[in-house]
């Protein structure tokens, strides 16, 4: 009888572990609609990388603005700033990692993610991370960015020498 209980208990534990792993994997995979939100962010970064104002307008809503580096930028002003930085020899690479997407009522969404990228100038390339979030509205069947907030993750302090 004890062997039977032990075997049943072992099977139950294995089943719980398998189900928990399956649930965890499902929870990490975005739905098709959540992936569309992530794709819009990727398109936003591609537009900024390429100084493509048409692409930028295709993913931003009327009245769009962003808080970045402690300042508010309305509409095209962020693209003009980036274009100016490109002209000065600075180049940026951005990527959406660890996206956490929430969709409400089918037409409003928000995302929080870690933007992992690089900043390159004439002589150096620096890895950089930003903690970012964005708010979206579905307009004419497409997700459009209404607002972004970006906070640069500070570089870790140099290791103390002994």
Residue 16 has pLDDT above 80, yes or no: no
Yes or no: say if 148 and 68 are a contact pair by the CB < 8 Å rule: yes
In the numeric block, which tokens belong to residue 139? 């307009």
Query: In this predicted structure, what is the pLDDT of residue 20?
Result: 47
% the chain with pLDDT above 90:
73
* Residue 30: per-residue pLDDT: 82
Helix (H) / strand (E) element for 43: namely: helix 32-49
Which tokens go with 4?
Answer: 């039977």
Rg of the chain over CA atoms, in angstroms? 22
Residue 136 is encoded by which pair of tokens?
Answer: 């979206």
So what CATH class is 31-152? alpha beta
pLDDT of residue 159: 74
Angle, helices 77-87 vs 32-49, to 10°: value is: 50
Q: pLDDT at position 122, please?
A: 87
Model pLDDT, residue 33: 96
Q: Which residues contact 52 (CB under 8 A, 6 or more apart)?
A: 46
* Residue 158 pLDDT exceeds 90: no
38-43 average pLDDT score: 98
Are 79 and 91 in contact by the 8 Å Cβ rule? The answer is: no
pLDDT at position 3 is 60
Question: For 45-63, what is each residue's pLDDT tens digit?
Answer: 999 999 999 999 999 999 9
pLDDT in tens, 90-118: 999 999 999 999 999 999 999 999 999 99
């Amino acid at each position: 009888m004890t062997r039977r209980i032990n075997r049943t208990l072992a099977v139950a534990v294995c089943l719980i572990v398998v189900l928990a792993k399956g649930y965890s994997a499902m929870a990490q995979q975005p739905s098709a609609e959540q992936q569309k939100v992530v794709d819009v962010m990727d398109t936003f970064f591609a537009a900024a990388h390429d100084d493509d104002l048409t692409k930028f307008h295709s993913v931003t809503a009327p009245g769009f603005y962003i808080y970045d580096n402690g300042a508010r930028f309305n509409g095209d002003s962020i693209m003009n700033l980036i274009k100016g930085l490109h002209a000065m020899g600075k180049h940026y690479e951005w990527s959406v990692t660890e996206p956490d997407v929430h969709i409400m009522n089918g037409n409003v969404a928000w995302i929080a993610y870690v933007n992992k990228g690089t900043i390159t100038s004439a002589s150096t390339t620096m890895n950089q991370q930003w903690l970012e979030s964005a708010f979206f509205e579905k307009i004419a069947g497409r997700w459009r960015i209404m607002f972004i907030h970006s906070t640069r993750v500070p570089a870790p302090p140099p290791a103390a020498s002994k």
